[in-house]
Amino acid sequence: MKKIWLCIICFILIMCGGLVHMDINALADTTVITLETNEYEVNNNEEIVVTIYLNSDVNIGAYHTEVKYDTYRLEYVGGGDNLVDGKVILEGNGYGKDIVYKLTFKTVSGGVAKISCVNGDIRIGGSADNKKQNISVASELMLNIAGEDTAISKENKDIFGIDASVPLCGVVDIDGVGRYYIIDHSEFIPDEAVWSYDTIKDKYGDATYTFITNKERNVKILYLMDSDGGYHMYAYAKEMQALYPCLEKVVEGQNSYVMSSNVCTSWPEDLTLDYVKKNNVCYVMNQNGECGFYKYVDDEFAKWSEEDGKAFLDGQMKIFYYILMAAVVVIIVVIASVFIVNYNSNEAKNERNKRRSKNANKSSDNSDIEFIDIDETDKVKTRHLNVIPEGSDKVKSGRSETISEIEEDEKPKERPVISVRNVTMKFRVSTSDASGIKEYFIQKIKKQVTYREFLALDNVSFDVFKGEIVGIIGTNGSGKSTLLRIVSGALGPTEGRVRVNRKKLQILTLGTGFDMELTARENIYLNGAIIGYTQEFIDENFDRIVEFAELQDFVDEKVKNFSSGMVSRLGFAIATIGEAAEILILDEVLSVGDEFFRKKSLKRVKEMIHGGSTVLMVSHGMGTILENCTKVVWIEKGKLRMVGEPKVVCDEYQKLYDEK
Amino acid sequence: MNRKRRKREERQQYIFALKQLVSREIKRKYARSYLGIVWSVLNPLLTMAVMSMIFSTIFKRSIENFPIYYLTGTILWSFFSQSTDAAMTALVDNKNLLLKVKLTKQTFILSRVLTALTNLGYTMVAYTFMLIVFRVKISVTMLLFPLAIIFLLLFSTGISYMLSIAYVFFGDIKYLYSVVLTIWMYMSAIFYPVDSVTPVMQSIVSANPLYSYIQFARECVMYQKVPDGIVWLKMIGWGLGMFFAGYYIFKRKENSVMQKV
């Protein structure tokens, strides 16, 4: 606790010190330059004396200042040290803290002449390092010289390029009209200004000008002169940094000046841009300098009042309220109707269910027979086969007979359907498990991030020929799934290649893409689309799918309410409804579900197999492999251990287990 | 001939799959609500009403027709932010499907972007309704409006590609991106006039790609004028550029994604 207090106190002290230090510095070593004269109203052709005081709080050493004067109206007579470029130079070495100069000028023209001090360089006297002093100019002089201002034309010509006899102080280019000249209102106000006015200084762009304003100071006017000497009245809009023309019109019987609404810096509470644009609202000033907002509608000026503004705003607000009300009404209506509909349909559903349950028992028997109908194209082969009963031995012999029959019928194929050549799959696994950027960087800094290469598959090669049913076995983590993914094309091997016609490939997996929030019907379409069925195909086979899965009563029910068995049935039905592709990959399809389902799925898969497809399957069930496969590939820890007859390979595999 | 027909069938099937994925996203979004799709119309209307009530008095001097000004900006912005935010997690959410299914990975990202586009379609109903209510003048330039949507779609898709890849490797980007979106929204001059901020901010806003789309849309719908060449250039440039950049990055990193996901 103590430490914290110490820190706070130190901090405050330092801040105070800093502030004090800054202030003191500002005051030290400053020279104040003042210009004075006895008379500010002088006559033409007279000599006047201007006194210049340099007062410092330290000794003045070497100094150099310049005094600028109105060269058109004054003539320098003497008193300074030098005259360069129309500026009187005062320079030298001072003694003491004060210096005084008396300059004499002669007036040569009427008008207003300005004398000011510019560019000073004053050093501290007697200091070793010749430091500069700060300079503060206290005043400048404006002399009013009586008489005609004969110099003004020349002055205007030199500065602005126009021969004019009124004092100008700037130029401005107005769109569509050309170049106008800003009249210096601190010296001259044209007679056109017949209304009650006052003057005020304000900044426009980079320079400060003198504007004419009214009593309330809510509008600033400038008179601009064009190249022919005509005067134009413009109003200044500070926010827009623009000048707007003022038009003379009769408003409510009086001669008034009409200008853009932007001229007024603060609009009344209820005036909005929408209203201004819609009703052509403008800002009007009458001869007394009183201003107000007027609408210009139908060639008539009408005073804008707050009620108008309020009414308009209320109109706008009303629209918003209507929208909100409409939204609330819609919400209520929809929710109410949903409740009513639900109520009605529930009653109807209960009726339907009662009727359905009477017929339910009959439906399950039909599906088996239906499915056998599908294989109507490849009839020769299927008729040779029985619908396969239980018992492995019978199956095996049955299988091999028919395979040899098929092989004799067709020409022996020399090219393999799937060719796996020297496939190696390396995964770059980082030994850390950085789940986010922070941990990654921390570990990188700590140099804990290293990578090791994990060899999922090591130089695996084998072939699968048409009509073969190849089973892949191996202990967990041996790379079976990786191999399937490489064959299917989802993963690219690090080395080696796989030759297979991917267009004829179909992967059977269950429940891919099922979305719990959708109904069974919607999921059939979704899943079907993802697998690759066209819409027409699904439309044609929709009823078959539903019947195979035995979900006739649940078609429009959300899948999240299904039991796991129902989900598997549905997934399987969708996946296997199509005619079997020429190359099938079964990824653990046969190890899912209850007893009854397994029988059914096995039956269907066998139908697909016997359709002449080439099959690549992964299964953990030895029985399944032995029953159905013609060839078994044993992958152990990424390496190809054995390829051959199912019985042989499986026996070897068993031996490994028994040893363990 | 056979190949052509097969290609056409494949494309039809692809579009069918895409449509199914999009409809899944939409159904999932409104799964538990009764109003469902109606919200896509109501939501922008309600926010517009609220925002207008608050802001139209502040900007009464500088924005004409604040509700439409705001609504134009907000529907385009919502489309962009919804599409990129949803698409960011597309690959990770569907990781089961990625390995098992023939569909290309872009499909998943595209499905989410198209979902947002469908939503935009529904909000256009609200938008058209508001145009009528606020009596915006109908003009030929309104036909240019779909162009803004098309190029914004390309832009969003490109960014979605990049984000989805990044999210697979770094989950943190989800949170980072939500902050980025917030800042980005404030720099898009949706609810304030560009002239009212400092020149530095103004240059940031005009460099903002989203703003070029919003500006284009506002100019052709609200002010009935054909936008300047620079706006066209920005709009098309950002759209195409981002799309190809995103696609390129996606293609290169596709395989490493499969390993990580």
Q: What is the pLDDT of residue B247?
A: 93
Determine, for residues A274 and B19 on separate chains, whether the beta-carbon distance falls below 8 Å.
no
Interface test with A, best of B20, B42, B98 (most A CBs within 10 A): B20
pLDDT at residue A367 is higher than 60:
no
* Across A487-501, average pLDDT: 81
Q: What is the pLDDT of residue B162?
A: 93
pLDDT at residue A385 is higher than 50:
no
Could you say which of B101, B133, B172 has the minimum Cβ distance to residue A319? B133
Q: Distance between CA atoms of A527 and A557, rounded to whole angstroms? A: 16
pLDDT at residue A38 is higher than 90:
no
Determine, for residues B24 and A522 on separate chains, whether the beta-carbon distance falls below 8 Å.
yes
Q: Distance between CA atoms of A218 and A238, rounded to whole angstroms? A: 11
A421 burial type by CB count under 10 A (0-12 exposed, 13-18 middle, 19+ buried): middle
A253 vs B205 pLDDT, higher one = B205
> Which residues of chain B from 47 to 76 reach within 8 Å of chain A, CB to CB?
49, 52-53, 56-57, 60-66
Determine the residue of chain B that is closest to A528 in CA distance. B17
Q: What is the pLDDT of residue B192?
A: 87
pLDDT at residue A430 is higher than 50:
yes
Q: What is the pLDDT of residue A41?
A: 84
* Across A438-447, average pLDDT: 68
Question: B187 to chain A nearest CA, in Å?
Answer: 23
* Across A59-74, average pLDDT: 86
Q: What is the pLDDT of residue A16?
A: 74
User: How many of the other CB atoms lie within 10 Å of CB of A353?
Assistant: 11
A272 touches chain B (CB under 8 A): yes
Q: Over the stretch A11-35, which tens digit does the pLDDT of each residue have?
A: 888 887 766 655 555 556 788 888 8
pLDDT at residue A531 is higher than 90:
no
CA angle A294-A299-A302, nearest 5°?
Answer: 25
- Residue A358 sits at φ, ψ, to 5 deg, of -70, -35
DSSP assignment of A574-588 equals: HHHSSPPPSEEEEES
pLDDT band per the 50, 70, 90 thresholds, residue A389:
very low
Q: What is the pLDDT of residue A398?
A: 35
Determine, for residues B99 and A529 on separate chains, whether the beta-carbon distance falls below 8 Å.
no
Question: A523 to chain B nearest CA, in Å?
Answer: 9
Q: Which of A246-255, A351-360, A585-594, B138-147 has the highest mean pLDDT?
A: B138-147
pLDDT at residue A379 is higher than 50:
no
Percent of residues, chain A, with pLDDT higher than 70: 82
Q: Distance between CA atoms of B125 and A599, rounded to whole angstroms? A: 53
* Across A589-609, average pLDDT: 76
Could you say which of A272, A334, A518 has the minimum Cβ distance to residue B35? A334
> Which residues of chain A from 211 to 270 reach within 8 Å of chain B, CB to CB?
267
Q: Which of A97-111, A469-483, A563-577, A609-623 has the highest mean pLDDT?
A: A97-111
3-state SS, one letter per residue, for A477-528 = CCCHHHHHHHHHCCCCCCEEEEECCHHHEEEECCCCCCCCCCEHHHHHHHHH
* Across A181-189, average pLDDT: 80
Q: Distance between CA atoms of A518 and A556, rounded to whole angstroms? A: 9
pLDDT at residue A232 is higher than 80:
yes
B23 touches chain A (CB under 8 A): yes
* Across A259-273, average pLDDT: 79
Q: Which of A508-522, A524-538, B122-136, B199-213 has the highest mean pLDDT?
A: B199-213
B139 touches chain A (CB under 8 A): no
Return the closest-CA partner of residue B147 out of B227, B206, B223. B227
Determine, for residues B63 and A507 on separate chains, whether the beta-carbon distance falls below 8 Å.
no
Question: A327 to chain B nearest CA, in Å?
Answer: 7
Q: What is the pLDDT of residue A371?
A: 34
Q: What is the pLDDT of residue A507?
A: 76
pLDDT band per the 50, 70, 90 thresholds, residue A408:
very low
Determine the residue of chain A that is closest to B45 in CA distance. A323
Percent of residues, chain A, with pLDDT higher than 90: 0
A349 vs A609 pLDDT, higher one = A609
Type of residue found at A551: L
* Across B192-201, average pLDDT: 86
Count of alpha carbons within 13 angstroms of residue A44, beta-carbon side: 13
How far is residue A220 from each of residues A40, A193, A234, A304, measured CA to CA in Å?
Answer: 28, 13, 9, 21
Sign of CA dihedral B61, B67, B71, B72: negative
pLDDT at residue A528 is higher than 80:
yes
Q: What is the pLDDT of residue B86?
A: 93
B260 touches chain A (CB under 8 A): no
* Across A171-181, average pLDDT: 83
* Across A123-140, average pLDDT: 77
* Across A51-77, average pLDDT: 86
pLDDT at residue A378 is higher than 50:
no
Q: Distance between CA atoms of A616 and A587, rounded to whole angstroms? A: 9
pLDDT at residue A362 is higher than 60:
no
Q: What is the pLDDT of residue A377?
A: 37
Give A444's contacts in chain B (Cβ within 8 Å).
none
Q: Distance between CA atoms of A583 and A521, rounded to whole angstroms? A: 28
pLDDT band per the 50, 70, 90 thresholds, residue B29:
confident
Interface test with B, best of A283, A323, A340, A502 (most B CBs within 10 A): A323
Q: Which of A104-113, A134-143, B54-63 has the highest mean pLDDT?
A: A104-113
pLDDT at residue B187 is higher than 50:
yes
A550 vs A352 pLDDT, higher one = A550
Interface test with A, best of B10, B23, B99, B254 (most A CBs within 10 A): B99
* Across A417-421, average pLDDT: 83
User: How many of the other CB atoms lie within 10 Å of CB of A537?
Assistant: 15
Q: What is the pLDDT of residue A355?
A: 62
* Across B140-154, average pLDDT: 92
Type of residue found at A652: E
> Which residues of chain A from 100 to 159 reach within 8 Å of chain B, CB to CB?
none
> Which residues of chain B from 178 to 197 reach within 8 Å of chain A, CB to CB?
none
Return the closest-CA partner of residue A35 out of A101, A83, A133, A112. A101
Return the closest-CA partner of residue A478 out of A657, A640, A637. A637
Determine, for residues B46 and A491 on separate chains, whether the beta-carbon distance falls below 8 Å.
no
User: How many of the other CB atoms lie within 10 Å of CB of A357?
Assistant: 10
Could you say which of B9, B27, B171 has the minimum Cβ distance to residue A517? B27
Q: What is the pLDDT of residue A433?
A: 59
A392 vs A192 pLDDT, higher one = A192
pLDDT at residue A403 is higher than 60:
no
Cβ A55 vs Cβ A32: under 8 Å: yes
Q: What is the pLDDT of residue B233?
A: 92
* Across A147-172, average pLDDT: 79
Q: What is the pLDDT of residue B82?
A: 92
The runs of H, that is alpha helices, within A410-504 are 437-445, 480-488
In sequence order, the 6+-apart residues with CB closer than 8 A to the CB of B80 are B152, B155, B156, B210
